[in-house]
DNA sequence: GCCCGGACACAACCGGTGGTTGTGTCCGTA
DNA sequence: TACGGACACAACCACCGGTTGTGTCCGGGC
C-alpha cells in the first residue's frame, strides 16, 4: 500500500472529484486516476463509483476513509518523532518494564496530550552525553557513575526509591520466610543475568556484593525477564532481586515468592536527569508531575551506595 | 515515506543486521541498505549506526521504532477494513453525530476489542440492499419505508426512541416556554435544511407535517449542524427539531434554548436492521449489547408514523 | 434535439526510482 | 597476516508512475 495513494484517496474523497484532488497535489487528473486504480487493485475493492459529475465513495470507500486518515496521522507522528526541534519529549529509562517506565505511564495518563518517546540507552554516561547533545530530553538514571559526579549543566532530582525484594521459586530454602536480612543472603546464589558490565547499575550491585558479602551471578545469556522468572521458579537453589513494582510479576504466576529484604533494605534510587538549558515545554510538565507524585520514601533502614545522586 | 522502507526498518531493527532482514524480505542486502538510506534521507536523521558486526539503532532509531510499528499496524487495519470475509463489523447509521452513533460509541466502550466501521448510506432502501449483499452487517434505521415492509430475510428490532425537542434562539417567541405542544407549533417556521427528499426520515417529517399542520422548511443548502445552530441562534423567527441526545448541542453555546414538545411528543424510532443469515460474530455481540442497554421508553403520549418498525 | 463542456478512463511515451550484480572497505578473529 | 562477515558504492536495467493526447459518458443550455 502506497501512502501517496492513500493521501490521494483522502483528497479525492473530500473533494468529491479527481480533478480537484489533482490540482491540490499538483499532478494531472490522469495521475490521480491511476493512483486510485492502483490502490483499488491492491485492496481488491472499488473505493469510488465514477459518475459523470465526479466520484463518490462506495461503502468500502466509506469504511476505508477513517482508516486512511489514521494511517496518515500515524505517518505524521512517525516523522515527527525524529524531527529536530518540536519533536515529542524523549526520555531514557533504565528498563522498559521497570519502575521508571511505570512513572512514565503515570505521566502519560496525567497528560495524554503530550507526545512521548521512550528510549533505553546503555548507561548513565551515554545518557549524560545524549542529554548534552540534545538527543534526549530527560533520563531516568538510578545513580551517578561511581567517583564521577554529574557535570554542572546536568540537573538531577531523586524521584523514586525502589526497594529490592528477593524472588524465589516455591522449592527455595527461603521460600517460606516472611522476610530476610541482607546478611542472611550470604551463601545463597542470586542470579541476575540482565546485568551489563560497565553500567552504573552493575556498579550498584558490585557495591552491594562488596558491602554484604553476597554472591550475585551475572553469567549466562539474558533471555528476558520471562525466561528469568521461569528459571527461578523451577530452580530451588536460585533466587533473584526484583524491584517492588507491582506490575512486574504476573499475578500468582509459577508460584513465585516475593520476600522483602530488611536490615537494611537495599534501595535502588531513581533520579531524573535533564539538561539545564533544555527548553522543551513538556520537560517542565514532566518535572512538575514527578514532583507532585513522588512518594517520599523513608531513608531509615535502607542501603544505597554512597556515590548516588543525593536526595 | 515508503511503507516498504518502514517494514524493512522494523525487520532490520529486530534482526540487528541488514543481511538477515534482506533474507526475510527475499531481496539482496544491497536493496535493504538502499531502502534504509532512502528512509534516513527522507527523515533527515540516521536510524542505525553501522558496525562491522551488523547495525544497531541510534537514539532516533529507537524513538522511531514504536511509531514504525504503529504505522504498519494502521496499514494492516486499513487493509483489513475492506477485506472480504473477517473484516470489521460494518454498521450504517443515519447520522454521524446523532443518537445512533452514540449507541455505537457505547458499544465500542463496552467491547473495545471489536473492530468497527461506521458508514452512512442514503436511506433505508439502500441499507436493506447493502445488508442483503453483505456489504454492511447492520443498519440503524429509524423506520421502514412507508407502505413497503422489510423483506423476510431482514430482521429488525427497535432499540431507541428519540424524543424530538424544539431548538430556538434566545429571541424566539417560544424561547421562554417550559414546553410546547405539537399543535402549538402551527404557524411557526421550523427549518431543517438537512432533510434529503426521498429518504425514509423525510417521509417521517412529511407525516408529522400532515398530521399536525406544521410548517417545516427543508430549503436552502445544508452547511452542517454547526451552521444550522448558528443560524437558529441568530434568527428569531426560526426554530428546528433536534433529538435529545445530550452531546449534540455544545454546552451553553450561543444561548440556544431546548424546549420539550408534548401532547404528543414526536418520537423518532431507531431500529437495528440485519440480515438473518449474517454470520459475523460481532453482530451477535452488538445485538446483545443493544438488548441489554436499550431503555424501554414509554409509548404513551408519543407520536410516530403508523408505518414504522413495530416494537 | 443537438451541441458543448466537464469529468474520468485508456493508450503511448518517457524519465526516475528501486532492484540486481559486482566490488570495495572495514574490522574482529583465527 | 590472511580470512570472513557485514555494509556501502557503482553500474546497469526493468518497471513503476508521471505526462500528453484522446475517447467516452452524461447533463445542461441554446
Which of residues A80, A98, A113 is at a domain's end?
A: A80
Same domain, A39 and A96: no
Burial class of residue B190 (count of CB atoms within 10 Å of its CB; 0-12, 13-18, 19+) = buried
What CATH number should be reported for the domain holding residue B114?
Answer: 3.40.190.10
Is B63 in contact with A88 (Cβ distance < 8 A)?
yes
Can you read off the three cell numbers belonging to residue B162?
428519540
Q: Could you tell me if B59 lies within 8 Å of chain A, comparing CB atoms?
A: yes
Which of residues A80, A104, A134 is at a domain's end?
A: A80
Quote the CA–CA distance of A307 and A269 in Å, as a whole number.
11
A204-207 LR contacts (CB < 8 Å, sep 24+): A204/A142, A204/A143, A204/A268, A204/A305, A204/A308, A207/A146, A207/A305
Q: Count CB atoms within 10 A of the CB of residue A21.
A: 25
What CA–CA distances, in Å, run from B311 to A180, A251, A255, B139, B161? 68, 47, 55, 17, 10
β partners of residue B56: B49
The nearest alpha carbon in chain A to B134 belongs to A59
Task: Name the residue with cell 548516588.
Answer: A308
Same domain, A76 and A98: no
Can you read off the three cell numbers belonging to residue A170?
516455591
Kindly give the residue spans of alpha helices, DSSP state H, lying in chain A: 3-15, 18-25, 29-43, 59-80, 99-110, 124-133, 200-212, 225-234, 281-293
The total number of structural domains that make up chain B: 3
Can you read off the three cell numbers belonging to residue B91?
454498521
Same domain, A153 and A277: yes
pLDDT, one tens digit per residue, over A102-159 is: 889 999 999 999 999 999 998 888 999 999 999 999 999 976 666 678 899 999 998 8
DSSP SS3 for B53: coil
Q: Could you tell me if B45 lies within 8 Å of chain A, comparing CB atoms?
A: yes
Distance of C1' in C14 from CA in A30, Å: 16
Instruction: Give the length of chain B.
Output: 311
pLDDT value for A154: 94
What CA–CA distances, in Å, run from B205 to B143, B194, B209, B240, B269? 12, 12, 6, 12, 13
Q: Which of these, B268, B275, B233, lies nearest to B250 by C-alpha position? A: B233
Kindly give the residue spans of alpha helices, DSSP state H, lying in B91-199: 99-110, 124-133
Per-residue pLDDT in tens (0 to 9) along chain B, 311 residues: 899 999 999 999 999 999 999 999 999 999 999 999 999 999 999 999 998 888 999 999 999 999 999 999 999 999 999 998 889 999 999 888 778 888 899 999 999 999 999 999 988 888 999 999 999 999 999 766 666 788 999 999 988 888 888 888 888 888 888 888 888 888 888 888 877 777 878 888 888 888 888 888 876 666 667 777 778 788 888 888 888 776 555 545 677 888 889 888 888 888 999 999 999 999 999 999 999 887 666 777 788 887 777 77
Same domain, B261 and B281: no
Convert A234-269 to b/e letters by CB count within 10 Å (16 or more is b): eeeebbbbbbebeebbeeeeeebbebebbebbbbbb
Same domain, B174 and B255: yes
* Residue among B39, B41, B78 with most chain A CBs within 10 A, to mutate: B78
Q: Which of these, B156, B130, B107, lies nearest to A63 by C-alpha position? A: B130
pLDDT, one tens digit per residue, over A33-80 is: 999 999 999 999 999 999 888 899 999 999 999 999 999 999 999 999
Q: Could you say which DSSP state residue B91 is in?
A: E
Distance of C1' in C21 from CA in A171, Å: 60
Same domain, B206 and B261: yes
Same domain, B276 and B147: yes
Mean pLDDT, residues A262-282: 92
Q: Answer whether B147's CB lies under 8 Å from B206's CB.
A: no
Q: Could you tell me if A123 lies within 8 Å of chain B, comparing CB atoms?
A: no
Q: Answer whether A308's CB lies under 8 Å from A143's CB.
A: yes
Same domain, A196 and A258: yes
Is A68 in contact with B60 (Cβ distance < 8 A)?
no
* Confidence band, pLDDT 50/70/90 cuts, at residue A251: very low
Closest approach of B59 to chain A, Cα-based (Å): 7
Which of residues A80, A113, A130 is at a domain's end?
A: A80
Residue B305 falls within a domain, yes or no? Answer: no
Same domain, B27 and B153: no
Kindly give the residue spans of alpha helices, DSSP state H, lying in B213-300: 225-234, 281-293
A3 Cβ contacts chain C strand, under 7 Å: no
Distance of C1' in C11 from CA in B215, Å: 57
Same domain, A76 and A91: no
B28 Cβ contacts chain C strand, under 7 Å: yes
Convert B29-63 to b/e letters by CB count within 10 Å (16 or more is b): eebbbebbeebbeebebbbbeeeeeebebbbbbbb
- Does residue B187 come out as left (phi exceeding 0), alpha (psi in the -120 to 50 range) or beta? left
Same domain, A189 and A285: yes
What CATH number should be reported for the domain holding residue A188?
Answer: 3.40.190.290
Can you read off the three cell numbers belonging to residue A105?
505511564
B27 Cβ contacts chain C strand, under 7 Å: yes
B29 Cβ contacts chain D strand, under 7 Å: yes
Closest approach of A215 to chain B, Cα-based (Å): 33
What CATH number should be reported for the domain holding residue A52?
Answer: 1.10.10.10
Residue B308 falls within a domain, yes or no? Answer: no
A2 Cβ contacts chain D strand, under 7 Å: yes
Q: Could you tell me if B51 lies within 8 Å of chain A, comparing CB atoms?
A: no
Same domain, A54 and A32: yes
How many angstroms from the chain centroid is the CA of residue B223? 18
DSSP letters spanning A86-107: SPPEEEE-S-TTSHHHHHHHHH
- Containing domain of residue A40, as a range? 3-80
What CA–CA distances, in Å, run from B107 to A56, B8, B97, B251, B305? 29, 37, 15, 24, 28
Residue B57 falls within a domain, yes or no? Answer: yes
Amino acid at each position: 500500500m502506497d501512502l501517496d495513494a492513500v493521501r490521494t484517496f483522502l483528497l479525492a474523497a473530500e473533494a468529491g472529484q479527481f480533478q480537484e484532488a489533482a490540482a491540490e497535489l499538483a499532478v494531472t487528473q490522469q495521475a490521480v486516476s491511476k493512483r486510485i486504480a492502483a490502490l483499488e487493485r491492491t485492496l481488491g475493492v472499488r473505493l469510488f463509483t465514477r459518475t459523470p459529475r465526479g466520484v463518490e465513495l462506495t461503502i468500502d470507500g466509506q469504511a476505508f476513509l477513517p482508516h486512511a486518515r489514521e494511517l496518515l496521522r500515524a505517518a505524521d507522528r512517525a516523522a515527527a518523532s525524529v524531527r529536530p526541534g518540536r519533536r515529542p519529549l524523549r526520555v531514557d529509562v533504565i528498563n522498559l518494564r521497570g519502575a521508571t517506565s511505570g512513572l512514565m505511564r503515570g505521566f502519560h495518563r496525567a497528560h495524554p496530550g503530550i507526545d512521548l518517546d521512550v528510549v533505553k540507552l546503555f548507561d548513565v554516561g551515554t545518557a549524560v552525553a545524549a542529554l548534552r547533545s540534545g538527543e534526549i530530553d530527560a533520563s531516568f538514571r538510578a545513580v551517578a557513575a561511581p567517583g564521577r559526579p554529574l557535570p554542572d549543566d546536568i540537573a538531577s532530582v531523586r524521584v523514586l526509591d525502589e526497594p529490592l525484594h528477593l524472588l524465589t521459586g516455591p522449592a527455595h530454602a527461603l521460600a517460606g520466610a516472611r522476610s530476610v536480612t541482607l546478611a542472611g543472603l550470604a551463601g545463597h546464589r542470586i542470579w541476575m543475568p540482565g546485568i551489563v558490565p560497565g553500567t552504573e547499575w552493575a556498579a550498584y550491585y558490585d557495591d552491594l556484593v562488596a558491602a554484604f558479602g553476597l554472591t550475585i551471578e551475572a553469567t549466562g545469556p539474558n533471555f528476558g525477564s520471562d525466561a528469568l522468572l521461569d528459571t527461578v521458579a523451577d530452580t530451588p537453589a536460585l533466587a533473584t532481586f526484583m524491584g517492588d513494582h507491582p506490575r512486574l510479576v504476573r499475578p500468582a504466576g509459577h508460584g513465585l515468592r516475593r520476600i522483602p529484604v530488611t536490615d537494611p533494605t537495599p534501595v535502588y534510587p531513581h533520579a531524573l536527569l535533564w539538561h539545564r538549558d533544555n527548553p522543551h515545554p513538556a520537560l517542565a510538565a514532566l518535572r512538575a508531575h514527578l514532583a507532585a507524585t513522588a512518594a517520599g520514601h523513608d531513608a531509615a533502614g535502607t542501603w544505597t551506595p554512597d556515590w548516588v545522586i543525593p536526595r
